Amino acid sequence: MYQAFFGLNLMPFSLTPDTRSFFGLRSHVDAVNTCVSAMEMGEGLVKVTGEVGTGKTMVCRLLLTALARDFTLVFLPNPANSVVSLYHMISCELGILEQTEHDKLLGSIQRVAINAARYGRPVVILCDEAQALPDDVLEAVRLLGNLETEQRKLIQLILFGQPELDERLGQYNMRQLLQRISFSASLASLTYAETSAYIDHRIREQGGSLSIFNFWAKRRIWVASRGIPRLIHQLCHKALLLSYGKEELFVSNRTVRLAIKDTPMARQHHPLKAIWG
């Protein structure tokens, strides 16, 4: 597309999270370190929350890589709509036979977890989109976290969710699950300094010139995106496309304005807003 025109190896602002392009944003690094430390200490249940587009999937993929050597991992990318569905999804990831009867699934999961712990690779379940889990499934998650030996938890869990997850857990009927959460991490929006460094990192990584996005272009993208990485990607990608179409080697203020106008979730703002943020 526009890679050759700008001297880029690949498109730097793809919407598909790629751990090879990870940029060490403070809240992302803190979340990864919190989860890894909690799992190594056998703390049981950890929660990671963040607004849509702040990088939960990236953090989840980083954890899958960081924990793979020492743990038996179960990744649930989609929320289960029933307890039986949850047990089936976990069983499938653990290699339990599909023919296992519904009422025996939990026992089978427990036996696999005991065996995994015996070999020094305890089970860790990473559950994405946890804010969408029904109440009975969240209760089943709590019960999974209760499986333990005298020394440690048999199954540890990391819940990823949007801020609505905190609201759900704040309800009275969720107080038992909330008490089981040993550590929490929150993914924050980027500051302007982080946004600028992030854009430069993505461009530099693909061999492009840092002059493609000037100070004001990055400033307006930060204001329009509210520091949300996914929106930063959308705006930068559209700005590069528009610049390529006009055969301009640099992203102009007008190009940024058009990219913002074409992005429904972007904050529409007067250019002067970029001065004070």
| pLDDT bracket for residue 141 (50, 70, 90) | very high
Beta carbons within 8 Å of 98's beta carbon, 6+ residues apart: 91, 92
Per residue in 37-46, pLDDT (tens digit) is 999 999 889 9
Asked whether residue 122 is assigned to any structural domain, the reply reads: yes
The share of the chain scoring above pLDDT 90, in percent, equals 79
Can you give the CATH number for the domain in which 242 is found? 1.10.8
pLDDT of residue 130: 95
Residues 174 and 213 in one domain: no
Q: What is the mean pLDDT of residues 104-109?
A: 88
Picking from 42, 25, 45, the residue whose alpha carbon sits closest to that of residue 184 is: 45
Residues 172 and 227 in one domain: no
Final residue in a domain of this structure, among 187, 210, 227:
187
pLDDT of residue 15: 86
Q: Which residue has the higher pLDDT, 149 or 185?
A: 185
Q: Return d(Cα 64, Cα 53) in angstroms, integer.
A: 19
Average pLDDT over the chain reads: 92
Q: Which residue has the higher pLDDT, 135 or 1?
A: 135
Residues 141 and 225 in one domain: no
Asked whether residue 2 is assigned to any structural domain, the reply reads: no
Q: What is the dihedral of CA 267, 270, 272, 276, to 10 degrees?
A: -30
pLDDT of residue 147: 84
Residues 99 and 56 in one domain: yes
Is 53 a residue whose pLDDT tops 70?
Answer: yes
Residues 167 and 82 in one domain: yes
Is 101 a residue whose pLDDT tops 90?
Answer: no
Residues 237 and 111 in one domain: no
Q: How many domains does the chain have?
A: 2
Residues 105 and 31 in one domain: yes
Q: What is the mean pLDDT of residues 80-103?
A: 86
pLDDT of residue 274: 65
Q: Which of 17-21, 152-156, 191-195 has the highest mean pLDDT?
A: 191-195
Could you list the residue range(s) of the whole structural domain that residue 210 is in?
190-276
Final residue in a domain of this structure, among 187, 204, 219:
187
Asked whether residue 203 is assigned to any structural domain, the reply reads: yes
Per residue in 65-79, pLDDT (tens digit) is 999 999 999 999 999
Residues 174 and 208 in one domain: no
Picking from 206, 166, 195, the residue whose alpha carbon sits closest to that of residue 48 is: 166
Asked whether residue 12 is assigned to any structural domain, the reply reads: no
Asked whether residue 16 is assigned to any structural domain, the reply reads: no
Final residue in a domain of this structure, among 133, 152, 187:
187
